[in-house]
Amino acid sequence: MKEKELRRSLAVLPIGTVMRLTNLSARQIRYYEEQQLVTPKRNEGNRRMYSLNDIDRLLEIRDFLDEGINMAGIKHIYDEKARKEAQKKAQLEKPLTDRDVRKILRDEFMSVSGLVREDEVSFKHNKNF
């Protein structure tokens, strides 16, 4: 599934195409870029080139706006998303702490002993386990 992601991130669409695909004006699309909501690549002639991911992003922004969310609100949403992903990634790269291990063992014990339902076990199993 790596090939698909790579294609989706290829910036090949000029702003004119993006306008038609998103129903947004060039003015709006450029403004959202100023607000750091999208970061299109630039070609040799300083032309903005968008990827399919950028299109999705713009469509999402348009929906948020329709729902009455302002620029600050949308920025906050993406900032939070980025913050959480960064945190998750950092956590995955760290070895388990003693506290984590104890929690895993306790949860396993609780689960096996039938004292709690499986879906109530708080530990979220991952590759590290």
Nearest-angstrom CA–CA distance, 61 and 69: 9
Instruction: Please report how close the Cβ of residue 42 comes to DNA at its closest, in angstroms.
Output: 7
Contacts with DNA, residue ranges (CB under 7 A): 14-17, 19, 24-28, 30-31, 45-48, 65
Which residue lies nearer to DNA by CB, 47 or 84?
47
Nearest-angstrom CA–CA distance, 86 and 122: 22
Which residue lies nearer to DNA by CB, 28 or 111?
28
SS3 14: strand
Instruction: Please report how close the Cβ of residue 104 comes to DNA at its closest, in angstroms.
Output: 48
